[in-house]
Chains A and B, each alone.
Chain A
């Protein structure tokens, strides 16, 4: 296997004595897109600045294609010139669109003729050729971000660093730009680090995904793997698992386990190496709601009885919180919610396949459960 394009080890960043970033080991493989996803303030942008050699970490080491990164200014400049960075805001210069796209090439002393060819190529690919002679201050936000991306691609960087490039765009512009970028990254095999707070964008673009929580890489792996099998409760919560039921494995039988939760027992596929206290994670879209007189769920499914606590309309969907001892969240359509007459206080049954459960180890903290039980 070839050398990783970038490697960071034991990288620690402090601002005013506060730890911002603490990355034990992170590699960016050649030609891959690594998405770094995390909530605001998780240290994503700081990580990107460190990888882009724009910020020197308080401690730790970086390797660029197997070579340790020197902090000597001339060497640093030479390495930076093999990369390109795109920020959330396009940050264009007060000159024409074409001159902005040419900027990185001009800084590298690329001859005028070649510069012009490459600028034309990338203006074309980002569908902004018609803006070439327009002052950069007089184009829309979506167009400006296209200019910023074209400016980065024109450099033909060995490593492309993207810091929330879609965050400031409206939904339709974002959608089309994400798709185009995905296409380009596949075609050009550009090694890319893509930082975002948006889980969908992270999974759409990343071959691998790293979840950054509180400045640490909480989990890293293939995009599918991360989506299906979060390894810890915080990762599961960040990735959108709304229901985490504290429970305890009480019996194992033929590839399945029985788990005692607050009010009932449920069945799940037997996880390797898990026993005792667990979190039973359940995604809201996998939970079906039945009213008492409705048709029952398949016999193998888990069924919990409860009372509706709240019904919230969320875009095209309706989110229903149900008190089954613990709170379970289900997602349904507006039409179905109306048909079932869902409202606070209504008795319902929730059904979900054992296969939709994902189990995580849980550290038992009885007093916390006792107190939360009293409060809840």
Chain B
């Protein structure tokens, strides 16, 4: 237990002093994961609305695939993105393997099914007869889409945060496609793995505390949102 207490005290000092390495790693983590989440929302939200509203053959299969994708193992994503971006791979010409961009690509793939799946659920919790009522009141296609997204605004926000939560905490893919290079692709999770293996528990604990803090803020916001949704 001594190790834990000493580490925690040391970590608190590091955080209080604003250790430049720790700050840099935390900021990169936030930037990369935010970019990946943003991309996933831009692509995933319209896709989720479309799947949620339209009946088409094989829709149940698509929804099942998306739901499976919500639990996609990051190491598998890391493996496939590595192959894609490998120098001789299909996208090797981009030369982005072991850069932050590669981590964004991998995290985008992890976040996309989360965003799509939760958007489908958000849209499906709207009364299925509402679209007809809105069209009957004179809504154009564009107005209908906007009104439905507004109807589902709280669960949509939840989808965004769940997507961010999934990517900011994953380690496998970031390690494989980013390489955990200091001052370049080292993020909170990969740094924690490294510092732990080196026995630098104080740094590892400091990094973990930041990660826990981010996770806590996300969950707090989600809970508040859900409570608001329940009480309306």
Quick one: which of B136, B141, B151, B232 contacts A84, CB cutoff 8 A?
A: B136
Residues of A within 8 Å of B129, CB to CB, are: 87, 89, 91
Measured CB to CB, the nearest residue on chain A to B141 is A73
Q: Would you give the 0/1 interface string for A90-115, flagging 1 where the beta carbon is closer than 8 Å to chain B? A: 01011000000001100110000000
| A138→B138 contact, CB < 8 A | no
Chain A interface residue bracket vs B: 20 to 34
Query: B137 is contacted by which of A104, A135, A137 (Cβ under 8 Å)?
Result: A104
Is there a chain A Cβ closer than 8 Å to B147's Cβ? yes
With the chains together, A279 CA to B150 CA distance in Å?
59
List residues 62-99 of chain A with CB under 8 A from any CB of chain B. 73, 77, 80-81, 83-85, 87, 89, 91, 93-94
- State whether A151 touches B150 (Cβ < 8 A): no
| Interface contact B232-A54, CB-CB below 8 Å | no
**Would you list which residues of chain A between 201 and 238 have a CB under 8 Å from chain B?**
none
> Does A320 reach chain B (CB closer than 8 Å)?
no
Closest chain B CB from A190 CB (angstroms): 16
A81 contacts B132, CB within 8 Å?
no
Interface string of B99-142 (1 = CB under 8 A from A): 00000000000000000000000000001011011011111110
Tell whether, in the assembled complex, residue A138 and residue B136 are in contact, meaning their CB atoms are under 8 Å apart.
no
- Is B143 close to A, CB under 8 A? yes
A interface SS class: mixed
Asked if A155 contacts B137 (CB within 8 A), the reply is: yes
Q: Interface readout for A116-153 with B: 1 if CB under 8 Å, 0 if not?
A: 00000000000000000001011000000000000110
B127 contact set on A, CB distance < 8 A: 89, 91
Tell me if A52 is interfacial: C-beta within 8 Å of chain B. yes
CB closest chain-B residue, reference A76: B135
Query: B130–A107 contact, CB under 8 A?
Result: no
**Chain B residues with Cβ under 8 A from A83's Cβ?**
136, 138
In the complex, number of A-B residue pairs with CB atoms less than 8 Å apart: 54
Q: Complex formed: what's the CA distance from A135 to B140 in Å?
A: 25
Which of A83, A93, A135 has most B Cβ within 10 Å? A93
Contacts of B135 in A (CB 8 A): 54, 80
CB nearest neighbor in A for B137: A104
Give CA–CA (A107, B140) in the complex, Å. 8
How many residues from B make CB contacts under 8 Å with A?
Answer: 17
Q: Which residues of chain B are near A135, meaning CB under 8 Å?
A: 232
B136 contacts which of A52, A73, A89, A137 (Cβ < 8 Å)? A52
Q: Are A151 and B151 in contact (CB under 8 A)?
A: no
Given the known inter-chain contacts A91-B127, A93-B147, A94-B232, please indicate yes or no for A85 contacting B133, CB distance below 8 A: yes
A84 to B134 Cα, complex, angstroms: 10
Cβ 8 A contact of A138, one of B141, B150, B232 = B232
Closest to A91 in B: B133
Decide if A85 touches B150 in the complex (CB within 8 Å). no
| Contact (Cβ within 8 A) A94 B136 | no
Cβ–Cβ < 8 Å partners of A104 in chain B: 137-138
Instruction: Chain A residues near B139: list those with CB within 8 A.
Output: 107
Smallest Cβ distance from A167 to chain B, in angstroms?
Answer: 14
CB distance from A84 to the nearest CB of B (A): 6
| Cross-interface CB contact of A155 among B133, B138, B151, cutoff 8 Å | B138
Q: Given A87-B129, A89-B129, check contact A54 B136 (CB 8 Å).
A: yes
Q: Which residues of B contact A54 (CB under 8 A)?
A: 132, 135-136
CB within 8 Å for A85 and B151 given contacts A91-B129, A94-B232: no
Query: Which of A81, A91, A137, A161 interacts with B138 by CB under 8 Å?
Result: A81
Q: A103 and B137: CB pair below 8 A?
A: yes
Contact A137 B232, CB 8 Å, known A77-B140, A93-B151:
yes
Which B residues lie within 8 Å of A87 (CB)? Answer: 129, 132-133, 136
- CA distance in complex: A80, B139 (Å): 9
Would A80 and B147 count as touching, CB distance under 8 A?
A: no
Least distance between A191 CB and chain B CB atoms (Å): 16
Residues 144-167 of chain B, each 1 if its beta carbon lies under 8 Å from chain A, else 0: 000100110000000000000000
Contact A77 B138 (CB under 8 A): yes
Check if A85 sits within 8 Å of B137, measured CB to CB: yes
Interface residues of A in 162-193 (CB under 8 A from B): none
Rounded to whole angstroms, the CA-CA distance of A107 and B146 in the bound complex is 11
Contact check, B136 vs A80: say whether CB atoms are below 8 A apart: yes
Contacts of A89 in B (CB 8 A): 127, 129
Chain A residue nearest to B154 in the complex (CB): A94
Most buried by A among B129, B130, B133, B138: B138
Residues of B within 8 A of A (CB): 127, 129-130, 132-133, 135-141, 143, 147, 150-151, 232
Q: What are the 6 tightest A-B residue pairs by CB atom distance, in nearest-first order? A: A85-B136, A81-B138, A91-B133, A104-B137, A107-B138, A91-B130
A54-B132, A73-B141, A91-B129 known; 14 other A-B pairs, CB under 8 Å?
A: A49-B132, A54-B136, A80-B136, A83-B136, A84-B136, A84-B137, A85-B133, A85-B136, A87-B132, A94-B232, A104-B138, A107-B139, A151-B137, A161-B136
